[in-house]
Structure 1
Amino acid sequence: MKIFVDGKIAGVTDADLKSFYQVQESLKAQGHIVFSPLLLPDDSDLGEKMDICFAFLRASDAIAVETGNYHDKTEVFIDYLTQYNPDAKVISKAM
């Protein structure tokens, strides 16, 4: 399954980012293809990052959402994915 891993990655602690990476690696170890905003270059501007995230979403079968750490784009990403792909799954991940 192709999974977009969503979660706030700006203004979080190193421990939060470590947990985010662990979820990515866990999904990869289960054989999933993982798309993540953590793969984007730090010097990308917001518009570029959003364009790439929406491309990731169009290619995804599911979105893994960090529970308890929604950000202002989470609902937009979920709505976009489920409208683009009505069979898409929303997976809550405790990070």
Structure 2
Amino acid sequence: MKMCRPHRVPLPTQPCCTSAHAGAGRRVVTPLSPNDWKFICNGRNVSVSPSIGSWSLPCRSHYVIEHGRIRWADDWTDEQVERGRNADLHRKRSPE
């Protein structure tokens, strides 16, 4: 049973927005910047990619926002998390 549950999906009306959920007895807010995520908004709802993972929290929540709805994703192993973080760093350091 998942302990973390996202409770709202913000529309990206500013350069940075957040995704918030309650997990492990605390409120968790994840800043979503256009440098790290792609936003697609049709005026009524939003999709965000790639997935959002809270790997450093006890609940290790992992989800995707598609058309304003939360779709839970599988937990990742520590090795998958490390590969994902390395890929993110490589992408940020590489010229487009």
Q: What TM-score, normalized to structure 2?
A: 0.31
Q: What TM-score, normalized to structure 1?
A: 0.31
Q: Which has the larger radius of gyration?
A: 2
Higher helix share: 1
Higher strand share: 2
Q: Greater RCO between the two (CA within 8 Å, min separation 6)? A: 1
